[in-house]
């Protein structure tokens, strides 16, 4: 079956093949070939593992169908990226974004690239995608940074309207230590104001 090129990220090329998405990490010519092989293989395995763990934690993610060397094959989610429809979501869908992030943090994971480009709406479900920068991390700073990246992306790209409040409400619903995260988020936002 023919592969159709979809997108190019910093580390990978994305293809669609029927009802599958293939994410292939590409070689970096500036790295020694052996080191490059090791890094791409390790990062591919790690991304697949974290995606699966996020799914086990109750977060909608694409199902992993196969892993080979530098390529992960995911199920294709037939939906729209939130970056294209963000301002048309319902309050409960905004809350769902926060609930997904809360579940992720509760599982000891951080996404590392929480933007509306890495979320897909299929029917009434919000899926998280692209765990390429995700980490196993229970530090409050990392959780605060995760939320900060999302909020900055929303403010820069969309009309925040009431959505941020709903996202925070969703986060509260699923992450028991939300007060500590919000406190750290406020500190991170204050730091940003002084450096801009």
Task: For the chain, give the secondary structure using H, E and C.
Answer: CCCEEEEECCCEEEEEECCEEEEEECCCCCCCHHHHHHHHHHHHHHHHHHHHHHHHCCCCCCCEEEEECCEEEEECCCCEEHHHHHHHCCHHHHHHHHHHHHHHHHCCEECCCCCHHHEEEECCEEEECCCCCCEECCCHHHHHHHHHHHHHHHHHHCCCCCHHHHHHHHHHHHCCCHHHHHHHHHHHHHHHHHHC
pTM of the predicted model as reported, rounded to 2 decimal places = 0.93
The predicted structure's pLDDT at residue 193: 60
The predicted structure's pLDDT at residue 161: 84
Residue of 7, 36, 66, 113 marked active site = 113
Active site residue 113: yes
- How do residues 17-57 score in pLDDT, each as one tens digit? 999 999 999 999 999 999 999 999 999 999 999 999 999 99
Q: Could you tell me the domains of the chain?
A: 3-75 (3.30.200.20), 80-192 (1.10.510.10)
* Stretches in the chain below the pLDDT threshold 50: 196
């Amino acid at each position: 079956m023919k592969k159709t090129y979809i997108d190019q990220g910093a580390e990978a090329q994305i293809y669609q093949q029927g009802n599958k998405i293939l994410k292939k990490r590409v070689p970096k010519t500036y790295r020694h070939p052996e080191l490059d092989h090791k890094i791409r293989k390790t990062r591919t395995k790690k991304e697949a593992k974290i995606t699966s763990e996020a799914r086990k934690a109750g977060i909608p993610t694409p199902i992993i169908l196969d892993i080979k060397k530098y390529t992960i094959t995911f199920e294709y989610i037939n939906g729209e990226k939130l970056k294209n429809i963000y301002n048309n979501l319902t309050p409960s869908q905004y809350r769902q974004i926060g609930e997904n992030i809360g579940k992720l943090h509760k599982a000891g994971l951080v996404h590392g690239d929480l933007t509306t480009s890495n979320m897909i709406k299929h029917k009434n479900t919000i899926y998280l995608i692209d765990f390429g920068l995700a980490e196993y991390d229970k530090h409050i700073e990392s959780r605060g940074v995760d939320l900060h990246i999302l909020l900055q992306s929303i403010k820069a790209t969309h009309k925040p309207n009431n959505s941020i409040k709903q996202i925070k409400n969703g986060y509260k619903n699923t992450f028991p230590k939300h007060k500590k995260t919000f406190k750290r988020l406020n500190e991170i936002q204050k730091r940003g104001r002084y450096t801009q």
